[in-house]
Structure 1
Amino acid sequence: MNAFTSELFSVEGRVAGVTGGGGHLCGEMARGLAKAGAKVVVMDLRLEKAEAVAQQIKDTGGQAVGVELDATKKDSFKAALDQAVAAFGPLDIFVNGAGINSSTPFFQMELSEWNAVMDSQITSTFLGCQVIGEHMVGKGRGSIINISSASAGPPLSKAFPYSVAKAGIKNLTQNLAREWALQGVRVNAIRPGFFPTDWNRKNFITPEREAAILGHTPMKRYGEVSELIGALIWLASDASGFVTGAEIAVDGGYSAMTI
């Protein structure tokens, strides 16, 4: 990489927090940010998962720490932020990626299950933006990257609360981008297409559904988690300095497809 490009996309020495950082997508995002030179705070409800990803980063020469976070509780976000600042200093980058899904049919879904998905997705994104956003606004600089979905609209079948929550995340992203545009804090979202986890394959992806997904994806394949990192680094870096309120699709053309 030449000096111009390296400087343009640099996140070297910046401090990044990643919620859901012990998981499939956000674990790769945490590792990607570390490879680009950021100091990474891996946040997850499952501390052992966060620490495992942090150790992977350290084993390859990066800087990271694992922190326990219940993303449905504001006090937990405050405690995680305190730990992040103590470890590396103020946050420059924040990836809001915690969340669960549900495949329960609509008429069979209990309110408790609906609320669990909504809390893990839209409530956690709200709380992360509130706590970390205030921190960043206070220092006049920062990049928040929320995780939307191909399900944000039009909604995907079989994912009722998830789709509603992801639509809310897109809306919240745009609202806060407008709110903080003059305060140095950019708020954007990445809109992944299909990057199946083992849980997705077990609960969502039947052979018929896979045929429908790939038939609606111009590239005719699923995404590799590493393919999210380019958009992530761009949004985290000064290369996207005039980008806020955007939802960046990384989906093999899925959102551009009709017939």
Structure 2
Amino acid sequence: MSKVVVLTGAGGVLCSTLAKALAKQGHKIAVLDLKIEAAEQVAKEIEAEGGTAIGVIANVLENESLEAAKSKINEALGSVDILVNGAGGNHPLGTTSNPFLQEGDLSSSVEGFKTFFDLDPKGIEFVFNLNFIGTLLPTQVFAKDMVGKKGCSILNISSMNAFTPLTKIPAYSGAKAAVSNFTQWLAVHFSKVGIRVNALAPGFFLTDQNRTLLTNTDGSLTQRGQQIIDQTPMGRYGEPEDLISTTLYLCDDASSFVTGVVIPIDGGFSAYSGV
């Protein structure tokens, strides 16, 4: 059965892959992104493969922008059945330079060096807003279409570091933990009106945001990149396609009794103690 699927942040590597996979299931796809060019490009690629899609500009932190996007989607595709909250990310101002605080760090004169005490509240606020508020607001707007219908669901994007926080990125880890908690809260809250709510918790996937952090210009791994592979039992980074099967399952009626779960897709990273 064809459904109307809205994906935020779908101009990016991961969610564009999910958008195309859902389109191949016969669903009508609304590709939302802050960059309209990216959204329209993904929509064109879906249509070139015989699918139905539209690209729509949307800022997940602005209710007015989301309402305008919803009006376009309702007019072009119909009432929304599935929402994938894919928009998210980190910011350097919410990141420490070193994984562990050393006494000498407090007197460092290196330009741009940041300890925990130097973290910018604005940077941390940006990360929390993008990941948490950027999940809450689209849900408020698009879930209204789902109330009382059958086969509706919401899929949030958490992270394996919501289970155990990574070093250096307290804002991102905390924000994704909030997304996981919110997923469970929403699952309970929407349980009487026919809306299921679940989340993916991806491990390490190479994207435009983290590629320079994890790989060198020659394609070799940085120190942090190698550390990640060493802590991943399956010994590799995830591929965007690794997210498809779980996404299709959670968005399909085959998972009609599944709600409130957060599924790690991380090659065993979150399960490994390092010993």
Normalising to structure 2: TM-score of the pair? Answer: 0.86
Aligned counterparts, 1:68-217, within 5 A: 68-103=57-92, 104-105=95-96, 106-139=116-149, 141-203=151-213, 207-217=222-232
Residue 255 (structure 2) aligns with:
240
Shifted more, 232-241 versus 110-119: the winner is: 110-119
Shift of 1:63: 0.5
1:165 and 1:133 map into 2 onto residues whose CA distance is 21
Shift of 1:134: 2.6
1:152 and 1:139 map into 2 onto residues whose CA distance is 31
Per-residue CA distance 1:62-118 (angstroms, 9 max, x = gap):
100000100001122221111111111111111001112124324333222212211
Per-residue CA distance 1:161-201 (angstroms, 9 max, x = gap):
11111000000000010111121000000111111113312
2:47 and 2:117 map into 1 onto residues whose CA distance is 47
Per-residue CA distance 1:189-228 (angstroms, 9 max, x = gap):
0111111113312135662212221111111001110110
Normalising to structure 1: TM-score of the pair? Answer: 0.91
Query: Contact 1:158–1:204 at 8 Å: present in 2 too?
Result: no
The amino acid that maps onto 2:165 is: P
Q: CA RMSD in A?
A: 1.5
1:120 and 1:204 map into 2 onto residues whose CA distance is 22
2:67 and 2:255 map into 1 onto residues whose CA distance is 28
1:42 and 1:138 map into 2 onto residues whose CA distance is 24
| Higher normalized helix content (fraction of residues) | 1
Point out where structure 2 has 5 or more consecutive residues left out of the alignment: 97-115, 216-220
Residue 106 (structure 2) aligns with:
none
Q: Based on CA coordinates, which of the two structures has the bigger radius of gyration?
A: 2
1:119 and 1:64 map into 2 onto residues whose CA distance is 28
The amino acid that maps onto 2:12 is: G
Q: Percent of pairs identical after alignment?
A: 44
Query: Contact 2:151–2:256 at 8 Å: present in 1 too?
Result: no
Shift of 1:139: 3.7
SS in 1 for 2:53: strand
Shifted more, 96-105 versus 240-249: the winner is: 96-105
